[in-house]
Each structure stands twice: as C-alpha cells, then as structure tokens.
Structure 1
C-alpha cells in the first residue's frame, strides 16, 4: 500500500447544526373594531439559527404586529409561538421580560440612545437588568463597539455621532447580551443611502458571524439585499423565498 493511500484526506467539517430560533404555527392576532382587525391571520413561520431574514410588507400588512409577536411585546390570540425553544404562551410577564432581556435584541428606526451619555455607557445599559457589575458591563460594551466598528468612538455622545454611527451604537446595545435573535425594525429608515448601506453591510457581517437577524422593512431595495424574504400581506404570509442576498 502506498504512502499516498495511507495519507487519508481530512474529513470534511460538518456544517453547523441549524436549530429553530423562531417557530410560529397558526398564529392569529385580532384587534377590537367593527369589524375586528385581523392583524395576523394564521401565520406559520420558522427561522433557524444563523439566518438573515427580511419580513417585508406595506403599511397595514401585519409586519409590525409580527415584530411585536416575535419580540414577545404582544401575545397571540391563537396558535403556537416558540422563541429559542420556549413556548411564549406558557410564560408569565416576568418570564417574558427575562426572555427579552437575555435572548432578544432590538434595533429600531429611531435609535433611542440616551442623550449626554457616552456610546460605551449607552451600550452597557443593554445589560442593566442582568445584575452584572458595571465594570463587566462596560468591558463587554467596549468589545461590542469594537465589533461594530466604533472602537474610536466609545467616549462620544450621541450628538457627536453621525446617524449611521448612532445606529451602530444601537446595534451594539442590542448585541451586547449575545441574544439568540436580533430584531431590526426599519433599521435604515432614518438614514441617508450611504449610512443605510453601511448598516446593512454590518447586518450581513453579523449574519456571517452566526447571529440570527430578522429585518422588518417596507423597502423592497433593502429586502433585495437579504438572502431570505418573507412577504406578508393582509396578515398572511404571501411568499417565503430565498433570493437576492450575497
């Protein structure tokens, strides 16, 4: 037997295991009215770990209600909602607050940074309810700001940052607790095109690093940059397709 035969090729590294971070089955949400508003009407959706997904739809389509359900800010009237393996319908308000604090990160169109507070302390506040000592919260905040490309802006206050930089601080605040799910609601809506493109690039980089990211948007140009697009209309999933992306 030759030496070449003996030298076996290295085994291929297995792909990382995909697990569901979001599982929705038969989800309904209705609001009072005459007639009642069917904001969500039998939604089924699964999002696995490491995915980058756009929830796309016009105003009134149900995407904001879906965001609130995914973020456990609202409860479904019917159906199963499971976030990171936990059945949301079986959790009390305190347990839901803990779930949001530890496993879900939020990024909004408006940055919601505290005026007069440095970037590092705005990000450290994302760990405020974990019981972590201030020094450790600041250390993690510094690491996360470096991750989003703001290592040279950690002591700047919001009024000293551009819109794109403020959104990066908001992303860092959402990420500092290492959430299982990052929800970005119209994250480029308040930005000029160059800053918006930079924030989208950052979301792609986070996805490449293994973060599960869901972007809620009405902007089809933004959606076209995402590898999976879930279109919602009249409270129902109209299409779910792999497209665009990089």
Structure 2
C-alpha cells in the first residue's frame, strides 16, 4: 500500500468572527520525507497554517488530514494523542522550563506518551547526544546559549520520534551563526528521514530549502520545488539516533552555538 501523505489539505479554510478569513480554500500535500518552507509576511496566513498542520485548530471549511487522520473527525482527546504520537513542535522562543536541566526539558516531550520516567530520561540523553549536546545535558536554560536552547528544543520535539516536525521561525531569536547551525541540523534530520515544515517570513531561509510554499492574504500564491525530497523514514530507527554524529560536527559554545 502507498503510504498516505503526512499533511493533506483540501479546500481548507479558516474564518473568525467579524468576517476575518485567515485561510481561503487551501490545497496542499506534503509527502513523507519532504523539507518544506511555508513562507509569507505577517498576516499572510502562515501561522494559521501552522495551527492546522499541528492540529492545534480545526478548519472552518474543507478537510485537513495529518498522518492520514481527518482532524475534524477526532475528539480533543484523540487530537492530543495524534499530536503526541506524530507531531513535534519547535518554536522561536524555545519554551524551555527554567530551573530544569536539558535532560529534564527534553524528557518532558514524552510526558503524554505513557513512557516511564527512567526511560524518558534515557531517551532524552540519547536525543541530546543526537543534536550535539551530550556535554551540556546537566545545564539549565540560563546556562545555555540561544543556539543551544534551540537544539534542546529540537531534541525535545524529536524524542518521541514524530512523523512530522513543525518549526515555527526556528532561527528568529538567534544570531546568524547560531541560526545557520540550527538550519544545518534540520537539513541533517530531514536527510535521515524526518518530514519537516519550516514556517518563516525569512526569504533567505526559505530559498535554501527544496520546496517553498508562499502565502499571501490567506492563500497559496506559489509552490516551487528545486530538487527531490531529501529523506525517507526508515522503520525501527529513531530520528535523533539517525543524526548521531551531529555533535562531533557542531561548533562549540564559544563559536556561538
């Protein structure tokens, strides 16, 4: 059987009281292993797209299927389970818990997956090693650079081995060097099989990705491909394990990572 797309929108629209139409009849398919930029200026609809792709909101019209599941047909409890099993989130401002070390922050990504505490911490350590932070795992957020915080956030998003990673302005709070390292890591993760959507207003970041879906006024205005999809998920291997070695290639703290 042919696997279903990771993301499939058909005529998807989202409206709010007062006649605000944030999305208008969007058709979009993202296949397994793609690396996609969803790009557009503020108010273009890309944040609404993030909410629909992440099952944080439901469409007003049309259908949204994530990992083969129709979002409109699921209860809130089943949507939460779908997110926990299939989707990882990375945000611009990290959202790490102050006073908790990197291992605990990453282990929190498994809180709703029914994983015992000891196993959560073991998998968190493995995930941190996969993003090159094994040597920083006992450090709290205030002891980490911006680039390191974002890599902890990526490890947290990947520790549950999601089918889809949604990265919302992942370099927006970083300096140029740290941002470049984070994007390099996302490319490596995609090369090892993770499907990734990067939501951004930065055309330079978008133009460096193999597919760019551009939004304006709630609609897709272009969908361009510059090459074949990079990754293809392999059964039985974890996303973080597949980028083992990223740490050996990453720059040190003093280089702005």
Query: Is the structural similarity TM-score above 0.5?
Result: yes
Larger radius of gyration: 1
The one of 10, 16, 21 aligned to 1:31: 16
How does the TM-score come out when normalised to structure 2? 0.86
Residue 98 of structure 2 corresponds to which residue in structure 1? 115
Tell me the CA shift for residue 242 of structure 1.
1.1
Q: Residue in 2 aligned with 1:12?
A: none
Q: How far 1:172 moved relative to its partner?
A: 0.4
Task: Tell me whether 1:45 sits opposite 2:45 in the alignment.
Answer: no
**1:130 Cα deviation after fit:** 1.4
- How many residues align? The count is 228
Task: Compare 175-184 and 17-26 and name the one that shifted more.
Answer: 17-26
Give a deviation string over 1:2-53, Cα, whole Å, max 9, x none: xxxxxxxxxxxxxxx76410000000101112xx111000000000111100
Aligned equivalents of 1:18, 1:130: Cα separation in 2: 24
Q: Does 2:19 align with 1:21?
A: no
- How far apart in 2 are the matches of 1:74 and 1:37? 16
* C-alpha contact 1:18 1:50 (8 A) present in aligned 2: no
Aligned partners of 1:224 and 1:243 also within 8 Å: no
- Go from structure 1 to structure 2 and tell me whether the alpha carbon gap of 1:149 and 1:18 turns closer, same or farther (over 3 Å shift): farther
User: Is 1:61–2:44 an aligned residue pair?
Assistant: yes
Q: Deviations over 1:102-152 (max 9, x none)?
A: 111000001000001010110000001112111100111111111111111
SS in 2 for 1:231: strand
The runs of 5 or more residues in structure 2 that have no matched partner are: 231-257
Q: Given the two structures, how large is their TM-score scaled by the length of structure 1?
A: 0.90
Give the drift of 1:224.
Answer: 1.2
Q: CA deviation at 1:90?
A: 0.5
Partner residue, 1:201: 184
For 1:144, the equivalent position in structure 2 comes to 127
Residue pairs, 1:135-174, within 5 angstroms? 135-174=118-157
Paired position in structure 1 for 2:216: 233
**Distance in 1 between the 2:112 and 2:50 partners?**
22
- Alpha-carbon distance in 1 for matches of 2:226, 2:136: 35
Which residue is equivalent to 2:255? none
